[in-house]
Chains A and B, each alone.
Chain A
Amino acid sequence: MAEPYLQMIGITKQFPGVRALSNVSLAAYAGEAHALIGANGAGKSTLMNILGGVIRADAGEIRIGGKPVAIHSPLDATANGIAFVHQEMAMLPTMTVAENMHIASFPTRLGWVDRNTMVERTRPILRRLGCQFSPDTQVQHLSTGDRQMVEIARALLSHPSIIIFDEPTSSLTSREKARLFDVIRGLKAEGVTIIYITHFLDEVFQICERATVLRGGEMVGSGVMQELKPEQIVHMMIGDLGVEVHQKALKANLGEPVLRVTRLNREGVLKDISFILHRGEVLGLWGLLGSGRTEVARAIIGLDPIDSGQIEIHDGKTLRVVRPSEAQRWIGMLTEDRRDEGLLLPMSVKQNMSLANLRGLASRWMLIRDDEETRQASRLVKRLNIIISNLRQPVRTLSGGNQQKVVVGRWLQVSPPIFIMDEPTRGLDVGAKAEIRNIILELAEAGNAILVISSEIDEMIALCQRYLVMNRGQIVKELPGSATRNELMAAAAGVEMADAASI
């Protein structure tokens, strides 16, 4: 076997407070596509930013063509034949294709932009990619797929021998995707080394020869695609935290329906989402990142618009149709991003905890009853075991776990019948995670209905009575609470059970 063209050996990177990468190695071969796989925060971007010269590794070596190279800046990376195709296309819509491709360094003559040279250079590259549009087209008139091609063309401008594709298909249609894959195959045939970052496993199997899987900044596996199975890769991505512990008591009968969602649609995001959430139930919305889990939650409470669909909520007497903006009255929402969409960081613990319940705390003149506000807050601080010095402390100064408990406490003040919890324990330490999970189970025990979204499979298994599996904006499967980790992983990766049984 020939020597790998690109080798990254023992790469380690420490950020203040976090070890982003620890002793990660990667070997990619010329003329092959190498998949870099991992969940969010696994270290994929950090690793590629080191290769791209955007950040510098603390330790480790990079070899290209067998020779050690020093990459200290993006310019060094370009000089070593490395090019990036970015995920979200940073383009200037009112400028032309040629201008966008040359934006980093316009060819000049006597200090003026040399338009002819620019167009001359652009043309053959567009031809090579099979693009039909002219270099003088304004980017705003191109489709998403064509823009992606411009992005690739920009990368090809420096005649790179290594091209990094960062989630290139996330906004492409299937036809555009097919065309992108043709281009990648063409590049491979020309001997280019491709690094392909994605979390869509089907693509990896379609286009890549090898894969490296990262988790929590460590390399947890690598190998040739032919010898790998999707379930294995998902398993590597998500990890195995020991034995499956069912803390939940699986109930034989579901309670009465409290939330019924029927054929919720949003162009390009959600397709025909229908489900029923029952009293006392913890329902898991399971799927890989980008499968539309969060979007379902946001659509139900009216944070994102919907094109069509119906939401019904049990108002105490009967199920009745509500508008998403109204649904908020019955639903307590823990958003995925608690800093951006949950907390009022500079404001006090007390004020954060009363935010959803202000009407309940107001006197006849709509003045907030300070004593009642304090009483409620201190009751919940005690109940949720929130560690603070006093109720006036700004939430900004709390740890992640305590911040999340403040948001939970905010909703417990109102005690809505339905909760939606999007990544309720993300970024929390083990102890805080366990506490939040116990709160969720207690809430369900008390008769609340809870929709949980989590990327952590163990969390889902510990909590859920039932699972809805999502893939690309659709609910593709429903699994019972007794489903095993393997069944869940297989379903999320879109693999049939027959295959899964064989691992």
Chain B
Amino acid sequence: MVTQSASDEYKAVQLLSLRRRLADDRILRLIPIILLIAVLAVLAASVPNFFTSRNIINVLVQASTLGLMAIGMTFVMISGGIDLSIPAIMALSAILGAMHLRDGGSIAVSCLIMLAVGGLLGAVNGFAVAYLKMIPFVVTLAMMTVATGTSIWITNSISVPVTNEALFDLVLDRSFLNIPRPVFITALVTILAVVIIRKHIFGRWLYAVGVNAKAARVSGVPTTRVIFGTYVISGFMAGLTAIVLAARLGSASANMGSDSIVLDIVSSCVVGGVSIYGGVGGPLGAVFGAILITVISNSMNMMQVSFFTSLIVKGIVIIAFVAFDSFRRR
């Protein structure tokens, strides 16, 4: 039997109003920025080489690929889902694209293959989640396994070198302000995503689905198609990331999609204010989160903290932000 006294009820009401006040408080949104400034201050003091233009560009280039994947994840998370298969899809797309180049294919077709493979596998995820009503966590976890397994199988765990140097020139060009092109690609995609989210009918539907799917359905929002769409977008973003990363690394391998990248993507989104409960946040925050996460990784690397310790730190950051998100939720 449920036990509950009047005073408990009163406390619950109090707590609820506290939460509401917190949720409405815009200062909360600034917490990641405050955190970033704090991290940067610590870095300025303790890591002498951090603020060199070379390192900053390096951080931005790293953040650009993470940012692309985080944008894809943002769409999925706003609808209330999650896509764990992004890095695995990214790796498989990159491998298939690189193989095409190796076999003498053209750059255009190779890029198209990477985008198409990403979008297609995303569509498989989306179909399972939206139409078959399967649980996103399970579907994308399975997809992650399948994609990674396929990557290892077709490559025999050997990385596929990107043989056509024209791809490097295309993607890594830094003729403008000496900033590598991936930074601009991510910036452009971010702007596009922000426009879709804020102005496009799909963006509005997306929030409606994430906030209250039942109400959305009653109002004629095509909820199933919207959810399907988010996974196609995240798959497509994985394909786009594959192009950039394959060019940057000069090769493609199953390792590109290591599990720790999933953690980085989720961290970027959550730190950037995208709620794991859906309906809250946007791509700009996620990209910002990606920069913060990259700075943390990069600086720990420069401070010669081991890779595994940095995983612990990032894990704690996620838990802290998710706890924070749960607290202010609704």
Contacts and interface: CB of A to CB of B under 8 A. Distances in A.
A74 B215 contact: no
Interface in B141-200: 195, 199-200
A343 B219 CA distance: 10
B321 interface: no
Given A346-B211, A347-B207, A367-B199, A341 B4 contact: no
B5 A74 contact: no
B46 to A, nearest CB: 40
The 3 closest A-B pairs by CB, nearest first: A356-B219, A74-B1, A355-B219
Nearest to A84: B1
A477 interface: no
Task: Choose among A333, A342, A358, A410 the residue with the greatest number of B CB atoms under 10 Å from its CB.
Answer: A358
Interface in B194-213: 195, 199-202, 204-205, 207-208, 211-212
A141 interface: no
B1 A16 contact: no
A351 B1 contact: no
B120 to A, nearest CB: 23
A115 interface: no
Interface string B101-145: 000000000000000000000000000000000000000000000
Contact of A355 (B1, B10, B13, B216): B216
The size bracket of the interface on B is 20 to 34
Interface string B217-233: 11111000000000000
Interface of A: 15-16, 52, 54-56, 73-74, 84, 104, 301, 303, 328-329, 333, 335, 340-347, 351, 354-356, 358-359, 362, 365-368, 370, 410
A342 B1 contact: no
A342 B211 contact: no
Contact of A367 (B1, B200, B212, B217): B200
Contact of A351 (B202, B204, B218, B220): B204
A74 B205 CA distance: 46
14 contacts: A16-B13, A54-B1, A55-B5, A56-B5, A328-B220, A329-B220, A340-B212, A346-B23, A346-B211, A347-B208, A351-B204, A351-B207, A367-B195, A370-B199
Given A341-B214, A356-B219, A55 B202 contact: no
B330 interface: yes
A366 B199 CA distance: 9
Task: Give chain B's interface secondary structure class.
Answer: helix
A74 B219 CA distance: 43
A346 B279 contact: yes
B202 A341 contact: no
Given A55-B6, A362-B201, A342 B207 contact: no
A343 B215 contact: yes
